[in-house]
């Protein structure tokens, strides 16, 4: 927690001080207009307001010291009540003395007159004190709210980064396993080509800036690079179909949101079909929402069950996509898995349309 600059504190104090006392003086002047011909009354009222304004500065230093040392509010109020009493007496005394000095017709100032007028000065200073602590508590609550928002943003950013990093070892493990399979099957040229395409994909993803959302066109390009790697392994067994709405190219989507879905389709669909099959990647606008669909032909032995009896609704990839959509969009996003009327497996998600801009997720740390 950083220490607040004292210059900033005084820059905040002076506008409030002048505005508060200016309002109070203005109200007094307005209601004193019927007595403007009485010089003793004008002198009395003017001296009272001026002395109250001057006495507010020692009250400020006292209140600031109490606040800085985190003295309990009840204790601070009692201390201010005691200190404001002699200051109120000083305001009353200066007012009577000034009025007597201005008007020769006014009788001499008596101690009982000062004592009787002391509550007026005391009340004005206590009202100022109440405003001071009220404003300080409001600013403290606002500061805590800002820190809470900043903490939540930091936590959200960290979780999104962790989810994104979760994909990298998962994807690399599967790809390296495929490369080792090509080497064992005495396909060195295919293995070399896959390694080259893997290096290109990693370069385009790892060198990218640390942002959570990218244009849909960039995400589709990364997905195409990944499918090019898989095409080396599967050859003619893998057929990729694209049905992309080019008007949605600049719509922002979560980074690496398509790759795990396509990988899931390849691993649990195409890889388990001796003759291979197709994968359809489709994007379309539905009102003010972007809809993305990944469709693939199911394994020949079963349309809904994967290896070891794990259903298609599980796995690292699908769960990762669900959590990232929830973190970024909450209830505004939706994700569904189903078997369509053709017997093919579909994974679809939708999210609100957001065009590309310079705005990024940022965390502002405020001074306390």
pLDDT at 83 (0 to 100) = 93
Strands 289-296 and 334-339: unpaired
Helices marked H in 246-292: 259-268
The pLDDT score that the predictor gives to residue 10 is 56
DSSP single-letter state for residue 305: B
- The answer to whether the pTM exceeds 0.75 is no
d(CA 288, CA 47): 66
Q: Quote the CA–CA distance of 218 and 199 in Å, as a whole number.
A: 17
Contacts with 353 (C-beta within 8 Å, 6 or more apart), sequence order:
248, 251, 285, 288, 289, 290
DSSP letters of 74-108?
A: HHHHHHHHHHHHHHHHHHHHHHHHHHHHH-TTSPP
- Max distance between CA atoms of the chain, in angstroms, equals 120
Given this model, what pLDDT does residue 368 score? 25
- The pair of three-digit structure tokens given for residue 294, joined into one six-digit string: 């990944």
Domains and CATH numbers, the chain: 6-144 (no CATH), 187-352 (3.30.565.10)
Bridge partners, residue 311, by sequence: 305
Tell me the H-state helices in the chain: 6-31, 39-68, 73-102, 111-184, 188-206, 216-234, 259-268, 316-329
Q: Two tokens at 37? A: 């011909």
CA–CA distance, 109 with 96 (Å, rounded to integer) = 6
pLDDT recorded at residue 85: 92
Look-up of token digits 């070892």: 169
For 229, phi then psi, to 5°, come to -65, -45
| Predicted pLDDT at 367 | 31
Low-confidence ranges of the chain (pLDDT < 70): 1-11, 104-111, 151-171, 174, 204-210, 301-316, 355-368
**Beta strands across the sheet bearing 238-243:** 238-243, 277-286, 289-296, 345-352, 334-339
DSSP lists the bridge partners of residue 355 as 251
Structure tokens at 126: 């206590």
| Residue 339 CB coordination number (10 Å) | 13
Give CA–CA dist 195/172, Å, rounded.
11
């Amino acid at each position: 927690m950083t220490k607040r600059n004292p210059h900033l504190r005084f820059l905040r104090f002076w506008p409030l001080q002048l505005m508060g006392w200016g309002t109070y003086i203005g109200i007094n002047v307005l209601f004193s207009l019927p007595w403007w011909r009485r010089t003793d009354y004008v002198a009395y009222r003017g001296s009272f307001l001026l002395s109250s304004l001057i006495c507010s500065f020692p009250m400020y230093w006292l209140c600031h010291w109490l606040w800085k040392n985190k003295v309990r509010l009840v204790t601070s109020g009692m201390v201010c009540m005691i200190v404001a009493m002699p200051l109120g007496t000083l305001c009353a005394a200066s007012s009577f003395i000034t009025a007597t000095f201005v008007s020769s017709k006014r009788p001499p100032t008596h101690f009982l007159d000062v004592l009787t007028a002391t509550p007026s000065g005391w009340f004005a200073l206590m009202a100022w004190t109440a405003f001071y602590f009220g404003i300080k508590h409001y600013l403290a609550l606002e500061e805590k709210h800002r820190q809470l928002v900043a903490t939540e943003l930091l936590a959200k950013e960290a979780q999104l980064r962790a989810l994104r990093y979760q994909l990298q070892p998962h994807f690399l493990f599967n790809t390296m396993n495929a490369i080792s399979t090509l080497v064992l099957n005495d396909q060195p040229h295919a293995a070399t080509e896959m390694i080259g395409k893997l290096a290109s994909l990693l370069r385009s993803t790892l060198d990218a800036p640390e942002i959570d959302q990218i244009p849909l066109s960039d995400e589709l390009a990364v997905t195409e690079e990944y499918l090019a790697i898989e095409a080396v392994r599967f050859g003619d067994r893998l057929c990729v179909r694209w049905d992309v709405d080019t008007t949605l190219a600049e719509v922002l989507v979560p980074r690496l949101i398509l790759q795990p879905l396509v990988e899931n389709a390849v691993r649990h669909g195409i890889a388990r079909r001796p003759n291979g099959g197709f994968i359809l990647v489709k994007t379309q606008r539905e009102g003010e929402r972007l809809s993305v669909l990944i469709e693939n032909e199911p394994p020949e032995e079963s349309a809904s069950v994967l290896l070891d009896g794990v259903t298609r609704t599980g796995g690292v990839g699908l769960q990762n996509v669900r959590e990232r959509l929830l973190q970024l969009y909450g209830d505004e996003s939706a994700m569904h898995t189903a078997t369509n009327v053709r017997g093919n497996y579909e994974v679809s998600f939708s999210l609100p349309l957001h065009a590309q801009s310079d705005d990024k997720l940022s965390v502002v740390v405020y001074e306390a």
